[in-house]
């Protein structure tokens, strides 16, 4: 039996922590691994442990993983923290979870400090695990490691599923959402790379023609502060009249939701829109697909890995090379056009509700993803 030590985050609604915790829930299905966990310091001093959406039983299962006893031989070390510690460590094999949203690994995302007991012993060799082909190419471009493995993120099929008409109406009443509106949803931080400025601007233009449309934004203020106000003001500078006229139809939620409540927001919506500029995977898009929503996403990025024409509409984009790195620039006019298509095409939405969840369940369950991860770590 091999010993695996995971250095990662638990108990916070950050994507790295959520991925780590979902995987921890399925390691018990692999008895050939003795799994330990060492809680790493958060990268932001202001972050505090809180409920991260898991229910009581799941939280207990996640928390049962403890650090190894002093002197315990570790065969495999897997780091899931930020900044990235791209060094070897006190194990026969060392893996580092690493993402490259901007076509490379920026120097300021790499930790130069060795500050845990597992740093710096045995070997300077390490391998990288990353969740998408877009991210993989950026890491290879940075040439930090010869061995880079692709392990995608996943969804819990028991949590995400398409709603019936009656269920959707009930959820909308629960969240005080308009019953008759066509609701576009976007979940995540309202940061530059998410394309929120472009989304607000496009929605304002869309609203001129489709008066019953609504934009529901689920933010992450508990981690990043109020990024929505900045994005809204930037969109307003681009088109003040249209954005002001659409303001009352933009709903912004800052609540720290349970997984059940977040899944309900997907089921309350009609379409998911993500005109992102830079992502390493974009997990909410996959969650939306599993919830039966048609998705409108930027073409050319990591979502190409798991989006199919049966349930996804691509926004034309250009590749931009700048001081920030390599990112995508979604075409605003095409974004507006795709939003119109998904609004008008009931047949497409019905097909997406049928084939999207099946695709996600078959290919991207956390159980299957963790199985792939175990193969990489044990190989």
Q: What pLDDT was estimated at residue 86?
A: 87
pTM of the model: 0.94
Q: Where are the domains of the chain?
A: 2-154+365-378, 165-363
Rounded Cα distance, 125 and 127, in Å? 7
| CA–CA gap between residue 85 and residue 105 (Å, rounded) | 12
- The pLDDT of residue 119: 54
pLDDT score recorded for residue 226: 85
CATH number of 2-154+365-378: 3.40.50
Give the span between the Cα atoms of 277 and 331, in whole angstroms: 11
Q: Do domains 2-154+365-378 and 165-363 have the same CATH topology?
A: yes
Question: What local confidence, expressed as pLDDT, does residue 122 receive?
Answer: 43
Those residues whose C-beta lies under 8 Å from the C-beta of residue 377, and which sit 6 or more positions away, are 4, 33, 76, 78, 93, 95
Rounded mean pLDDT for each run of 10 residues along the chain, 379 residues in total: 95 91 96 95 83 84 95 94 88 94 90 58 76 96 85 96 96 96 96 97 98 95 83 95 96 88 96 98 98 98 98 98 94 98 98 97 97 95
Distance of CA 140 to the CA centre of its chain: 21
User: Per CATH, which fold does 165-363 belong to?
Assistant: Rossmann fold (3.40.50)
Q: CB-based burial of residue 340 (10 Å sphere; 0-12 exposed, 13-18 middle, 19+ buried)? A: middle
CA 100 centroid distance within chain: 13
What pLDDT, on a 0 to 100 scale, did the predictor assign at position 117?
53
């Amino acid at each position: 039996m091999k010993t695996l030590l995971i250095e990662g985050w638990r108990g916070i609604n950050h994507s790295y922590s959520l991925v780590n915790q979902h995987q921890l829930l399925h390691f018990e299905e692999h008895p050939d691994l003795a799994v330990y966990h060492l809680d790493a310091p958060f990268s932001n001093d202001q972050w505090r442990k809180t409920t991260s959406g898991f229910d009581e039983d799941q939280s207990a299962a996640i928390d049962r993983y403890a650090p190894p006893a002093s002197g315990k031989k570790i065969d495999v070390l897997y780091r899931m923290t930020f900044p990235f510690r791209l060094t070897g460590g006190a194990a026969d094999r060392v893996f580092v979870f690493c993402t490259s949203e901007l076509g490379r690994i920026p120097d300021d995302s790499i930790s130069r400090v060795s500050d845990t007991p597992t740093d710096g012993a045995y070997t300077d060799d390490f391998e990288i695990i990353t969740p998408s082909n877009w991210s993989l190419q950026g890491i290879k471009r940075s040439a930090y490691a010869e061995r880079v493995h692709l392990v995608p993120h996943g969804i819990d099929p028991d949590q995400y599923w398409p709603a019936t008409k009656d269920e959707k109406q009930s959820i909308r009443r629960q969240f005080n959402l308009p019953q008759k509106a066509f609701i576009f949803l976007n979940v995540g931080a309202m940061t530059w790379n998410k394309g929120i400025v472009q989304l607000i601007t496009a929605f304002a233009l869309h609203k001129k023609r489709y008066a019953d449309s609504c934009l529901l934004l689920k933010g992450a203020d508990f981690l990043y502060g109020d990024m929505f106000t900045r994005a809204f003001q930037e969109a307003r500078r681009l088109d003040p009249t249209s954005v002001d006229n659409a303001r009352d139809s933009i709903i912004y939620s800052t609540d720290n939701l349970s997984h059940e409540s977040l899944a309900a927001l997907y089921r309350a919506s009609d379409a998911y829109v993500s005109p992102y500029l830079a992502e390493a995977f974009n997990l909410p898009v996959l969650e939306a697909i599993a919830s039966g929503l048609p998705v409108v996403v930027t073409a050319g990025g990591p979502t190409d890995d798991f989006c199919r024409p049966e349930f996804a509409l691509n926004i034309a984009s250009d590749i931009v090379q700048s001081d920030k790195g390599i990112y995508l620039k979604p075409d605003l006019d095409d974004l507006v056009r795709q939003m119109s298509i998904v609004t008008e095409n009931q047949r497409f939405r019905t097909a997406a509700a049928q084939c999207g969840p099946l695709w996600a369940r078959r290919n991207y369950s956390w159980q299957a993803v963790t199985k792939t991860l175990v193969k990489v770590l044990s190989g």
